[in-house]
Amino acid sequence: MVCIPRKNPTSDERLGDLLDKCIREHPDNDAIVYVDRDLRYSWKEWGEEVDRVAKGLMAMGVKKGEKVAVWATNVPDWVTLMFATARIGAILLTINTNYQAAELDYVLKQSDMENLFLINGVRDTDYVDTVYKLIPELKEQPRDGFHSERYPHLKRVVFLGPEKYRGMFSMSEVKSKAVEISDDEYSVMKDAVDVHDVTMMQYTSGTTGFPKGVMLTHFNIANDGYWLGANMNYGSDDRLTLNVPLFHCFGCVLGVMACVNHCVTMVFCETFNPIDVMTSIEEEKCTAVYGVPTMFISMLNHKLFNKFDFSSLRTGIMAGSPCPIKAMEEVVDKMNMKEITIVYGLTEASPGMTQTRYDEPSIEKKCSSVGKRLPGVDVVILDPETNEPCPDGTVGEFCCKGFNVMKGYYKMPEETAKAIDKDGWLHSGDIGRMDADGYYYITGRLKDHIIRGSEETVLLQGNEINLKEIEAC
């Protein structure tokens, strides 16, 4: 089956509208599967779970515009919270699972976070202990009417698991409170959500200063997800093994939003483990899998790789860094992923800007380029000095304009103005070029390069190195 892309580049569907479409058209198809814990929801069943959590949040007092932060691996409640918050106009705030106390403290303060959901922890980081150290009031005050001097906006903390912790609500309590909200009250809340409302906040890595809260709307991520899925020829018969982290756009937009737009089954792995991923692919006969190059290489090099059946695979996404041609050839040949795609973007662009297509025959193009622009997204290479478009083949800064550009950085208008210029172009900070066929190539970061006319120079330990001179050698 071939996906026939829609005629209009954008749609005004909210996240809840997309879920309703899957429930209406494919109620009994698998929506969510976890092989490791024998958990399986149909679209109808998952929709009921989303509604239960959404009503529970309302009963607890969560209002439109409130931030609901999730500090967790890819547990089942994560993606349910993503759509439950979207249903009622709250904002899902994704928290990096690698954060330590200092990073969490910064986000708690900067985001004005009202709600925090968390698991026990990851590896050597105990999330519960970290939260108690930052918020000792949790152990001292009743859950209802809780107040923190350090984080005055914080209203409630919820633990995602069966354990009970002082001062924290449990997820089962959230769900049990759903009966307190009538269908009419719920409908009013859902109807008040606008497609241009912020539905998600993600914090940048902070490589160029303090982390910034990127505000993404329903319009941003719903449309980006649609085209990412269309360019992989997604349909309701597809099944994606989703092992990349949900706190990152790779997981929640390239993964979840691409799937929900096209009613694709999501087969989750809580964290990346080669055996878990390969088992999920084989047992659920998945047609797609995502990863950064090192994830694919770790599977290919695993001693048990040849024990698994990859014949169901056809497509997926490789992103994050360039893939060596040899590794890509092995992914195509040994994992049967002849239709694998490459995506380039950044969080501020929801994140996809460019993508290779599923029917791209060239292995070289899959490895060296980042594909062509998404429909409805304008991409341009701008001269960093003049801010004028560069001719084909000339290096400059990678910029885009369109439905995918963020609403802005939370409480950082000056930083927003630096990122999005007066003409509406989002500046990526990456440099690259476009060839005559419309394929784009990334060559580095602007802050590490000096561009004078057609000459590109790399700064290496404070010394200028001309790239053409390097190529000549």
Instruction: Specify the CATH number for the domain of residue 453.
Output: 2.30.38
Please give the Cα distance from 34 to 267 (Å, whole number).
6
452: which strand partners?
455
Neighbours of 279 (CB within 10 A): 17
Inside any domain, residue 283: no
Per-residue pLDDT tens digits for 81-98: 999 999 999 999 999 999
Inside any domain, residue 288: no
Q: Can you spell out the DSSP letters for 247-315? A: TSHHHIIIIIIHHHHHT-EEEE-SS--HHHHHHHHHHHT-SEEEE-HHHHHHHHTSTTGGGS--TT--E
Instruction: Using alpha carbons, select from 188, 157, 186, 187 the residue that is nearest to residue 173.
Output: 157
Per-residue pLDDT tens digits for 269-293: 999 999 999 999 999 999 999 999 9
Inside any domain, residue 213: no
The per-residue pLDDT for 208 is 58
Total of domains in the chain: 2
Per-residue pLDDT tens digits for 279-328: 999 999 999 999 999 999 999 999 999 999 999 999 999 988 788 889 99
Per-residue pLDDT tens digits for 395-444: 999 999 999 999 999 999 999 999 999 999 999 999 999 999 999 999 88
Inside any domain, residue 257: no
Surface-to-core class of residue 28, CB atoms within 10 Å of its CB (0-12 exposed, 13-18 middle, 19+ buried): exposed
Cβ partners under 8 Å of residue 144, min gap 6? none
Please give the Cα distance from 20 to 76 (Å, whole number).
19
Inside any domain, residue 471: yes
What distance lies between CA 397 and its chain's CA centroid?
23
The per-residue pLDDT for 385 is 87
Contact assessment for residue 116 and residue 160, using Cβ atoms and an 8 Å cutoff? no
Contact assessment for residue 354 and residue 360, using Cβ atoms and an 8 Å cutoff? no
Inside any domain, residue 265: no
Inside any domain, residue 32: no
Question: What Cα–Cα distance (Å) separates residue 392 from each residue in 7, 369, 388, 455?
Answer: 28, 14, 13, 14
The per-residue pLDDT for 207 is 56
Start-to-end CA distance of the chain, whole Å, equals 49
Of 202, 237, 271, which residue sits at a domain end? 202
**H or E element that contains 174:** helix 171-176
- Provide the domain limits for residue 78: 37-202
Of 202, 229, 254, which residue sits at a domain end? 202
- 63: domain CATH number is 3.40.50.12780
Cis peptide preceding 389, ω within 30 of 0: no
Q: Count the residues in the chain.
A: 473
Please report which residue ranges of 15-74 form alpha helices under DSSP H: 15-25, 43-60
Contact assessment for residue 360 and residue 341, using Cβ atoms and an 8 Å cutoff? yes
**Residue numbers in the chain where pLDDT is lower than 70:** 1, 206-209, 447-473
Of 155, 174, 202, which residue sits at a domain end? 202
Cβ partners under 8 Å of residue 111, min gap 6? 67, 69, 93, 201, 213, 410
The two structure tokens encoding residue 130: 């970290």
Neighbours of 179 (CB within 10 A): 11
Please give the Cα distance from 423 to 169 (Å, whole number).
46
